[in-house]
Chain A
Amino acid sequence: MSDATSSRDTMAPIRRPRRWHIAVFLLPAFLVYSAVMILPLIETLRLSLFNTVDGEPAFVGLANFKVLFGDARWAADFWNALKNNVIFFIIHMLVQNPIGVALAAMLSIPKLRFAAFYRTAIFLPTLLSFVIVGFIWKLILSPIWGVSPYLMDLVGLKSFFSPWLGKPDTALIAVSLISVWQYVGIPMMLIYAALLNIPEEVIEAAECDGVTGWSQFWKIKLPLILPAIGIISILTFVGNFNAFDLVYTVQGALAGPDKSTDILGTLLYRTFFGFQLQLGDRSMGATIATVMFLIILAGVSLYLFVIQRRMRRYQF
């Protein structure tokens, strides 16, 4: 290209008008997204480094985090909420995703009758709000109504019934299972879609090679849907560490009984807005939000840079 510059004016780069339309197309989304999402997020992260000292906002470095992790007033609540949140996530991974995969595997059996009906029905709870879901289950599990003991009596398990939501040692599991009940439709649908994407020829080739039934699922289909399982895992992770509504609806802002269902979302809410006698604390709220941000960021990075890189994506 060096010879181009040396010669006549026709060789000079052509000047052309600015393409303003690109900016016009991008601007509205960019402005709203930046102003309402990104800047507040950054501001929240910044606020976590400030606190009120003698009535004046002052830069305190990582002091807020030190308080959150170590101070007697905060640390117990925080570690409790974090522990509960981890349990909440583990229950989802162990219950929601395997059930979702199993349902999807059954639904994708070729020529299965009523498949569309099952699919539609099982996905229904996913569309309902946490508020509805929370209250419905609160009623059903309520010992006052007696629906659960009645149903358990039908299968001879009446003696096992107890007011799970009211007991500290079972409340978290119960709430997690309610959440699983609501969200199982999402992994089911994503896995179902991934299974439908496997070309028929591959399955037919497996049939010809004598790989059928269960071993076909384990040896052929499961490896091919691993990327989809990766996606649902990260979606579950982000959703779980950001959860709030269900616990708030079922157990209230205090996440009772005795904070046994307290997760980071409810802790953030109580900290930021206060409840009953405790006043809201903006700086500590921002600090908790920052911790949640870092946890989610770590999870997403792990997924994007480690899991997704290692995982083979198959081109059909």
Chain B
Amino acid sequence: MSKARASLSRTTLVHLALIGYTLIAVFPVFLTLINSMKSRNAIFRNPMQLPTTETFDLVGYTTVLGQGDFASYFQNSFIVTVAAIALVLLFGAMAAFALSEYRFRGNTLMGLYLALGIMIPIRLGTVAILQGMVATGLVNTLTALILVYTAQGIPLAVFILSEFMRTVSDDLKNAGRIDGLSEYAIFFRLVLPLVRPAMATVAVFTMIPIWNDLWFPLILAPSEATKTVTLGSQLFIGQFVTNWNAVLAALSLAILPVLVLYLVFSRQLIRGITSGAVK
């Protein structure tokens, strides 16, 4: 009886602590979202209040959508992220397959070489990357960003995917060889479909830092035509510091796609992290 009560009070304490931290984690985001839909006066007078019929006002959004070129920023971010993820997955999976499937001289060395980039941030090479991009005329193009993010994503992709590819049955690949499939067909038709869950995990891990990155867009592609959402909102908000409606609306617009994607995919994402990350 007493033990049951003790554990009940312990559970209550745990829930209180978790609810407390959940509030800390979510509240700032929530606050931004609700205030973005209020009139200027209401933002300052009652920041904690949900928008009511009187205080509801979308003036922030109309300012943002009227001023900044957000549609094109979104498009840029989208192109860069999707292209980089596709290349990371394709190149990373190919390299992971070569490393996990074949015995050849230099296999371990190549594995270590590719793994270097997991720990050493690509940013440290920025000085020379910019030089290279200037020399090849890629500055202020989305290609520059795609290349950098592909290089940045490959090490982790190779690492995670080769772990998973080692679990694909050798017998299956050999059955394919006996049935006359080429090594390329074995990779694309047998192995890739089987590591799809790992590919999803890698895609998420690759996507978040790319979408959120400020450094490389700022340095390699700051022109109006190539601005990404992160850089665009950074500059936009910088200009409109005093227009709270616009700032809050811009923030909300930047949060929303991430929020929606997260709510849809959170289960897969968390499963990916908990199953694949600590091995």
Listed in ascending order, the chain A residues whose CB lies under 8 Å from chain B are: 19, 21-22, 24-26, 28-30, 32-33, 35-44, 47, 99, 102-103, 106-107, 109, 112-114, 116-132, 135-137, 139-140, 145-147, 150, 181, 184-185, 189-190, 192-194, 196-197, 213, 227-228, 231, 234, 238, 242, 244-245, 248-249, 265, 268, 272-273, 282, 285-286, 289-290, 292-293, 296-297, 300
A121: chain B residues within 8 A (beta carbon): 22, 25-26
Q: Any chain A CB within 8 A of the CB of B95?
A: yes
Query: Would you call B230 an interface residue if the criterion is a C-beta within 8 Å of the partner chain's C-beta atoms?
Result: yes
Interface size class for chain B? Answer: 35 or more
Rounded to whole Å, the gap between the CB of A111 and the closest CB of chain B is 10
Q: A114-B18, A116-B267, A128-B255 are in contact. List 6 more A-B contacts (CB 8 A).
A: A22-B104, A40-B128, A43-B132, A102-B17, A136-B28, A189-B274
The listed residue (A130, A242, A296) touching B214 by CB distance below 8 A is A130
Q: Is residue B78 within 8 Å, beta carbon to beta carbon, of the partner chain?
A: no
- State whether A120 and B270 are in contact (beta carbons under 8 Å apart), knowing that A21-B184, A132-B251, A193-B278 are contacts in the complex: yes
Given A32-B91, A125-B25, A245-B215, do A37 and B47 touch, yes or no (CB 8 Å)?
Answer: no
| Contact B151 A32, beta carbon cutoff 8 Å | yes
Measured between beta carbons, the chain A residues less than 8 angstroms from B32 are 136, 139
Q: Which residues of B contact A292 (CB under 8 A)?
A: 124
Task: Provide 29 A-B residue pairs closer than 8 Å at the C-beta atoms, listed in order of the A residue.
Answer: A29-B94, A29-B114, A33-B114, A33-B117, A36-B147, A37-B117, A37-B152, A39-B128, A40-B127, A41-B120, A43-B127, A43-B131, A118-B21, A119-B270, A121-B25, A126-B208, A127-B212, A129-B254, A131-B234, A139-B32, A139-B247, A181-B28, A189-B274, A194-B278, A228-B278, A234-B119, A282-B127, A292-B124, A293-B124
Cβ of A286: which chain B residues have Cβ within 8 Å of it? 127-128
User: Judging by beta carbons under 8 Å apart, are B29 and A145 in contact?
Assistant: no
What CA separation (Å) do A197 and B119 show in the bound complex?
24
Known A135-B237, A136-B28; judge A43-B128 contact (CB<8 A): yes
**Which residues in A have their C-beta under 8 angstroms from that of B273?**
189-190, 193
Contact of A19 among B102, B128, B248 (CB under 8 A): B102
The answer to whether B193 has its CB under 8 Å from any CB of chain A is no
> Does more than half of chain A's interface fall in helix, strand or loop, or is it mixed?
helix
Which partner residue on chain A sits nearest B17 by CB separation?
A: A106
Q: A193-B277, A293-B124 are in contact. Are A25 and B214 (CB under 8 A)?
A: no
A292 CA to B132 CA, complexed, in Å? 21
CB distance from A105 to the nearest CB of B (A): 9
Are A30 and B95 within 8 A (Cβ)?
yes
- How far is the CB of A313 from the nearest CB of chain B, in Å? 11
Considering the chains assembled together, what is the distance between the CA atoms of A120 and B18 in angstroms?
Answer: 12
Nearest-neighbour CB distance to chain B for A139, whole angstroms, equals: 7
B155 at the interface (CB under 8 A from A): yes
- Chain B interface, DSSP helix/strand/loop, else mixed: helix
Asked if B98 is at the interface of the complex by the 8 Å CB criterion, the answer is yes
Please, which residues of chain B bring their CB within 8 A of the CB of A128? Answer: 29, 212, 255, 258
Contact assessment for A38 and B278 in the assembled complex, using a CB-CB cutoff below 8 Å: no
B60 CB-CB contact with A under 8 Å: no
Q: Which residues of A contact B266 (CB under 8 A)?
A: 120, 123
A140–B28 CB distance below 8 A = yes
* Beta-carbon contacts under 8 Å, B95-154 to A: 95, 97-99, 102, 104, 110, 113-114, 116-117, 119-129, 131-132, 147-148, 150-152, 154
Q: List the B side residues contacting A136 at CB < 8 Å.
A: 28-29, 31-32, 251
B169 nearest CB across to chain A (Å): 19
3 interchain residue pairs of minimum CB distance:
A129-B212, A40-B125, A43-B128
Partner of A181, one of B25, B90, B184, B214: B25
Report the minimal beta-carbon distance from A284 to chain B, rounded to whole angstroms.
10
Cross-chain contact A242 with B123 (CB below 8 angstroms): yes
| Contacts A122-B25, A189-B274, A273-B219; A131 near B214 (Cβ below 8 A) | yes
Q: Are B95 and A25 in contact (CB under 8 A)?
A: yes
**Residues of B with C-beta under 8 A to A38:** 113, 116-117
By the criterion CB–CB under 8 Å, are A36 and B129 in contact? yes
Looking at the assembled complex, report how far the CB atom of A31 sits from the nearest CB atom of chain B, in whole angstroms: 9
Contact partners of B183 in chain A: CB under 8 A: 21
Bound CA span A116–B121, Å? 32
Q: Knowing A122-B22, A137-B28, A189-B270 are in contact, say whether A28-B90 is a contact too (CB < 8 A).
A: yes
B262 contacts which chain A residues (CB < 8 A)? Answer: 120, 124, 127
